Amino acid sequence: MSDINSGATKRQEILQLLAAGKISAGEAAELLSTTAAPPPPPEAAPEPPKAPAVAAAMSGDSQEGRPAWLHIRVSDLATGKNKVTVNVPLRLVKFGMRLGQRFTPEAAGLDWNELSTLATEKGVLVDVQDEEDGEQVQIYVD
């Protein structure tokens, strides 16, 4: 550890000499190359663990055969290229709906269990083509 500190001290002294104009940039570079290498950067902090509910939602695990993801795609009708792509775990949608019911009166009457019966099988739920804007919107689950 003292080697690291002494190397840092030497580098600082060299930089101070350079700043004071007592040595040239070339001399400073030569002196810096002879000092101990700087310590490696600290390792990145590990990602904090997710709350169990969020981790389960992000994993996309579902019951056998049931859809796990909600997909929303907006694409250009002429080229077929996607303009917008949204993929959300259905469990997170359920969580968001419950949270939204607390803040939005319009969402208070929505029943997740009733809505989830619409998405019991994988496939397209909504497919809309807007000829005027040249866009197609698809909402599907898998």
Give pLDDT tens digits for 80-123: 999 999 999 988 888 888 888 888 877 777 777 777 776 677 88
Would residue 74 be called left, alpha or beta, if left means φ above 0 and alpha means ψ between -120 and 50 degrees? beta
d(CA 58, CA 55): 5
Question: Could you tell me if 126 and 61 lie in one domain?
Answer: yes
d(CA 93, CA 70): 8
d(CA 86, CA 80): 16
Question: Could you tell me if 69 and 117 lie in one domain?
Answer: yes
Question: Could you tell me if 26 and 59 lie in one domain?
Answer: no
Query: Into how many domains does the chain fold?
Result: 2
Give the chain's mean pLDDT: 76
Average pLDDT over residues 127-142: 91
- Whether 73 and 84 have beta carbons less than 8 Å apart is answered as yes
What does each C-alpha distance from 102 to 12, 110, 112, 114 come to in angstroms?
Answer: 57, 12, 14, 18
Question: Could you tell me if 18 and 79 lie in one domain?
Answer: no
Question: Could you tell me if 71 and 101 lie in one domain?
Answer: yes
Does position 60 have pLDDT exceeding 50, yes or no? no
**Structural domain of residue 25, as residue ranges?**
2-34
**pTM, entire model:** 0.49
